[in-house]
Amino acid sequence: MPTKVKEVTFTGIIDEVYSYEPKKRRANDEIDNEIKSLKKERESNALHEQNLDCAKRIYDMYQCYLEAGFSEDQAWDLIYTQVSNITK
């Protein structure tokens, strides 16, 4: 049985190259979307870490005021005053 040989022409090669380009663009778009998604997730995680650190520091101040002999209400009032002054 004779083997069929595919005829290769210049226009055939050009057609094949152009049919590959949309696939390549689609893959690049998917990668770009994944990169954007990961950047947003990283920013969200960084903000979460900052908020968590801030909350831990506030709680540490609260514990220090209690250890120093302030009542719970006095400790929270002091923290409220400090945070209010910082954010002005």
d(CA 32, CA 8): 35
Helix axis angle for 72-86 and 10-67, nearest 10°, is 130
- The one-letter amino acid code at 42 reads R
Predicted local distance difference test score (pLDDT) of residue 44: 86
Predicted local distance difference test score (pLDDT) of residue 3: 65
Q: Where are the domains of the chain?
A: 10-86
Q: Per residue of the chain (88 residues), give pLDDT as tens.
A: 556 656 666 666 666 666 666 666 777 788 888 888 888 888 888 899 999 999 999 999 999 999 999 999 999 999 999 989 987 7
Predicted local distance difference test score (pLDDT) of residue 29: 80
d(CA 48, CA 50): 5
